Amino acid sequence: MRTRIYEIIEIADENDIASRVYDITMMISIVVSLVPVAAKRTDGIYWYMDICTTMIFMVDYLLRLFTADKKLRKGAKSFLVYPVTPMAIIDLLAILPSLIAVNGGLRLIKLLRLLRTLRVFRVFKAVRYSKSIPIIVQAFKKQRESLAVVGVLAIGYIMVSALIVISIEPETFPTFFDAVYWATVSLTTVGYGDIYAVSTAGKIITMISSVFGIAIVALPAGIITAGYMDEIKMKKKAEKEEKKNEKNEK
Amino acid sequence: MRTRIYEIIEIADENDIASRVYDITMMISIVVSLVPVAAKRTDGIYWYMDICTTMIFMVDYLLRLFTADKKLRKGAKSFLVYPVTPMAIIDLLAILPSLIAVNGGLRLIKLLRLLRTLRVFRVFKAVRYSKSIPIIVQAFKKQRESLAVVGVLAIGYIMVSALIVISIEPETFPTFFDAVYWATVSLTTVGYGDIYAVSTAGKIITMISSVFGIAIVALPAGIITAGYMDEIKMKKKAEKEEKKNEKNEK
Amino acid sequence: MRTRIYEIIEIADENDIASRVYDITMMISIVVSLVPVAAKRTDGIYWYMDICTTMIFMVDYLLRLFTADKKLRKGAKSFLVYPVTPMAIIDLLAILPSLIAVNGGLRLIKLLRLLRTLRVFRVFKAVRYSKSIPIIVQAFKKQRESLAVVGVLAIGYIMVSALIVISIEPETFPTFFDAVYWATVSLTTVGYGDIYAVSTAGKIITMISSVFGIAIVALPAGIITAGYMDEIKMKKKAEKEEKKNEKNEK
Amino acid sequence: MRTRIYEIIEIADENDIASRVYDITMMISIVVSLVPVAAKRTDGIYWYMDICTTMIFMVDYLLRLFTADKKLRKGAKSFLVYPVTPMAIIDLLAILPSLIAVNGGLRLIKLLRLLRTLRVFRVFKAVRYSKSIPIIVQAFKKQRESLAVVGVLAIGYIMVSALIVISIEPETFPTFFDAVYWATVSLTTVGYGDIYAVSTAGKIITMISSVFGIAIVALPAGIITAGYMDEIKMKKKAEKEEKKNEKNEK
């Protein structure tokens, strides 16, 4: 029976109806569990939504733990290793906030808000059921080195811009955090207009920083796009060759 | 005679003067019919503009219905199938608003505004007469799969950003819709500045969300551009080969 | 002597000192002539700047007209054809504003502002002396067809967005011009925040319009960049082959 | 002993522990030295941070000067040439501000602010210890010519936009600097919303300037991205061939 449960939970077999039903139930549960977060309410129907989905997630968590050895293929050790794998931690984070809220009551308001935020992590449970995420993850992995380099450069550039602007115009930027926020919002060209340099020196820094920085801050985006396009090309090629091989075999 | 009408309406033959006159008349009618929308007025000359163009569109609709069998090549069934084809529905939407407004009078103000908005659909009638749209539509179709994937990713990223920000800073974002609006305006880097996070936690989310999100939200744009460039290259190649073939034949 | 003047004015020979002096004088004159525009002043030293540079431009204009036959190689007809060539018209526009201002006095304030604006056209005189502009002009020309297509698409998209938004939210957008301004500022992602939709329906239009529109409005920029890169590659290739040929000849 | 010091300071040998300790000490010192700048404070613990790191930088400067002949390989002349090399000037700029502040006391407040700003230059000391910067510097160098051309074009475009807007709407832009700031913030699409055209003529200029300008101002960013991607590809190729050669040698 454990083998059957494992098949239902983990293996994405299009023809296995029980497996498909399980996946769809989980996806609906994830969406429903996020409705109270989006609606910012915890009463009435929203409370039931939270309770029901939390229970479904608990059952899911226990079933996955129960079949951990089938997945990790490490015998009895699997049951100890499984709870610390990334996906299992995400699963736990999806349950805990509501569990604590239910048990601890409404006394700890501050903590509750943090917990409400943690519930958003439930969305990452969906990663398991999405087909489009693996491609982009692959693209990220292939370009890992380049991304690390340009990521460091981009963060470095933002930090230097923030340091220069806070030195030149300390009145506008009360803390270093404000300067970093300004630099990020400016160099990504979002430019809300809630914070900006007002002195002439500060405006000059804004201009120089923008003209040069946009190229540097846009580098990671460029690399991801290029990597993603490559990934798609390779996938198409692989599919074509597969078809050819099938023909040749016939 | 029906064959001749069909030729005039549907076939874009450069040498057929009647056909060209018809096309130009329609283009002018579309532009004129949108003038009252742009001017936000329904009196005097604007009223006549609306009435005249609606009549022209009605004649056009009836002529197209009248020659539907020539177009769809399905015999008598064509007359039933034609009204539910996408272009025929657009044509109908271009007529209805003014028709109802004329008959129903000015009693239903609320409904009238919706109708006024629907009149904008007339612009899509122009699709039939544009030469540049097919290329971009082709580019969209070729990249359909990729676009679907990155589209889902982009929308997912916007939703997750909205969920996180509404959890962390519920004071700034009264409804989930506000959070989604904020996420969209920020990640497309428009950044009007009408809504933005004000708390430190919210600003941190803004920064992380922007730096990572811009790459993801920009992916569809990147794919469309790349697809469009490929389409142009292929078109040029095809034209070259055509010329070569013509030479070889001689 | 006319041949010598022509050589000095038109032929960019690195070794001809007189020619180089002339070019540098003109460049300085252009920059100096724009100082009063930038400083928004017409008194004292600024007045002399304007007068002197206008005189230099007049002499330049007359010398060019005087040697028009050497340039256009059309005999006596050249003197009639030259004044209507694009560069000659720009040259004339660079002189006229100051000339009229000097003669007409300060009576016509309104007209003077227009004239002050026209003086900015002097900057286009610099096109003649710039080495980098021909490459970008070449890139524009090569991609002319594609640019026309995506330009029409971009303008069309802006117009449709404006039409839809003015229909849905007429309170925010008093005139069609305001709606077009909003659409342009939003779709180029500048997003000043001086005008934006406030109703829920308007915000939905903003979001849909942005997510799709950015790709379309960014297409011309993408095409110019790609075209420019190709132009540079071809130039480098041509230079390499030239060097090879030189070697082979030896 | 001087040879050993030189090895420790300059040669990045993974196996030389003393060298690695020295590099890490310097990196920490740079970060610590910038903490008072970011915190905008000069009292208590921040004062000690400043003093200690300045002393470390002084020792570093003297050690580098002391072994200059090993680096420049020009004999005794090296000791005179070294202080004017770019990196040595940056090193000096990293020391001077604090040195003067300590000696000169707190009398010259205005000068002190400038000095505080100069301390930001310490960040450039980190260039010596970063592995990712050489690649981007290489990318910049390879595309130097193209970058110079498009850089001039971008600056020219900003200047022309500023000139036109100041002529058309002098009320909004009190000085030419304001107009340049507006043009830069608009064409990089940051668009804070602190300054924008309000007249109809000014808005038309804004629209035309944006639609065309974004392509031109984005060119440098595009070229840097393309150059960087090429650089990475070449590096990967070089690494592959190195591995092949190693195999063949075996």
What is the sign of the dihedral through the CA atoms of B154, B157, B161 and B163?
A: positive
Type of residue at B154: A
The chain A residues in contact with chain C (CB within 8 A) are 189, 191-193
Q: Tokens representing C68?
A: 């028009």
| Averaged pLDDT of chain C | 80
Distance (Å, whole) CA A245 – CA A235:
15
Q: What's the CATH code of the domain at A12?
A: 1.20.120
Q: Quick one: DSSP state of residue C74?
A: -
- Per-position DSSP letters for A83-149, written without gaps between them: GGSHHHHHHHHHHHHHHHHHHHTTS-HHHHHHHHHHGGGGGGGGGGG-SSHHHHHHHHHHTHHHHHH
The answer to whether residues A115 and A226 belong to one domain is no
Distance from CA of B138 to the nearest CA of A (A): 18
Do A79 and A123 meet the contact criterion of CB atoms below 8 Å apart? no
Residue that has been written with the tokens 């009292």 in this structure:
D43
The answer to whether residues B47 and B114 belong to one domain is yes
Per-residue b/e over B41-57, b at no fewer than 16 CB within 10 Å?
ebeeebeebbeebbebb
In chain A, what residues touch D184 (CB-CB under 8 Å)? 206-207, 210-211
What local confidence, expressed as pLDDT, does residue B92 receive? 81
The residues near B158 (Cβ < 8 Å, ≥ 6 apart) are B180, B183, B184, B187, B213, B217
Q: Tokens representing D166?
A: 């100041």
Inform me whether the pLDDT recorded for D227 exceeds 80: no
- Give the model confidence (pLDDT) of B148-181 as tens digits: 777 888 888 898 899 889 888 888 999 999 999 9
What local confidence, expressed as pLDDT, does residue A250 receive? 66
Mark out the alpha helices in chain D (DSSP H runs).
Answer: 2-10, 17-39, 45-66, 68-72, 78-81, 86-104, 109-118, 133-142, 144-168, 176-187, 200-249
What local confidence, expressed as pLDDT, does residue D143 receive? 76
The answer to whether residues D58 and D92 belong to one domain is yes
Candidates C167, C206, C165, C157; CA nearest to B40 is C167
Inform me whether the pLDDT recorded for C244 exceeds 70: yes
Mean pLDDT of D150-168: 86
The answer to whether residues D199 and D113 belong to one domain is no
The answer to whether residues A234 and A180 belong to one domain is yes
Q: What's the CATH code of the domain at A186?
A: 1.10.287.70
Distance of CA B82 to the CA centre of its chain: 20
What local confidence, expressed as pLDDT, does residue C88 receive? 82
Residue that has been written with the tokens 């036959």 in this structure:
C69
| Averaged pLDDT of chain A | 80
Type of residue at B149: V
Distance (Å, whole) CA B247 – CA B233:
21
| Averaged pLDDT of chain B | 80
The residues near D217 (Cβ < 8 Å, ≥ 6 apart) are A211, D154, D157, D158, D187, D188
- Give the model confidence (pLDDT) of D123-144 as tens digits: 776 666 666 667 777 777 777 7
More reliable by pLDDT, D186 or C145:
D186
Length reported for chain C: 250
The answer to whether residues B53 and B148 belong to one domain is no
Distance from CA of B195 to the nearest CA of A (A): 8
The contacts found for C10-16 with CB under 8 angstroms, 24 or more apart, are C10/C67, C10/C70, C10/C71
The answer to whether residues D23 and D116 belong to one domain is yes
Chains that touch B (3 or more CB pairs under 8 A): A, C, D
Q: Tokens representing A159?
A: 């930090």
Rg (CA), chain D: 25
- In chain D, the largest separation of any two C-alpha atoms, in whole Å, equals 77
Question: Final residue of a domain: which of A130, A157, A189?
Answer: A130
Contact assignment for A177 to B200 by CB distance below 8 Å: yes
Question: Final residue of a domain: which of C98, C130, C162?
Answer: C130
The answer to whether residues D237 and D182 belong to one domain is yes
Inform me whether the pLDDT recorded for D102 exceeds 80: no
Distance (Å, whole) CA D114 – CA A168:
8
What local confidence, expressed as pLDDT, does residue D5 receive? 83
Do A72 and A81 meet the contact criterion of CB atoms below 8 Å apart? yes
What local confidence, expressed as pLDDT, does residue B211 receive? 82
Do C228 and C202 meet the contact criterion of CB atoms below 8 Å apart? no
Contact assignment for B191 to C186 by CB distance below 8 Å: no
In chain D, what residues touch A211 (CB-CB under 8 Å)? 154, 184, 188, 217, 220
What local confidence, expressed as pLDDT, does residue A1 receive? 76
- Give the model confidence (pLDDT) of C131-146 as tens digits: 666 777 777 777 777 7
Q: Identify the residue among D182, D185, D200, D211 best suited for mutation to test binding to C, counting C beta carbons within 10 A and taking the highest.
A: D211
What local confidence, expressed as pLDDT, does residue C127 receive? 67
The answer to whether residues A113 and A7 belong to one domain is yes
Distance (Å, whole) CA D31 – CA D43:
18
Total of domains in chain B = 2
Q: For chain A, which ranges sit under pLDDT 70?
A: 12-14, 100-119, 121-122, 125-133, 250
Chains that touch A (3 or more CB pairs under 8 A): B, C, D
Query: What range does the domain containing D58 cover?
Result: 2-130
The answer to whether residues B167 and B98 belong to one domain is no
Distance of CA D203 to the CA centre of its chain: 36
Q: Quick one: DSSP state of residue B135?
A: H
The answer to whether residues A119 and A157 belong to one domain is no
Contact assignment for A185 to B206 by CB distance below 8 Å: yes
Question: Final residue of a domain: which of C106, C130, C154?
Answer: C130
How many CB pairs (< 8 A) connect B and D? 5
What local confidence, expressed as pLDDT, does residue B60 receive? 87
The answer to whether residues C107 and C154 belong to one domain is no
Distance (Å, whole) CA C197 – CA C166:
10
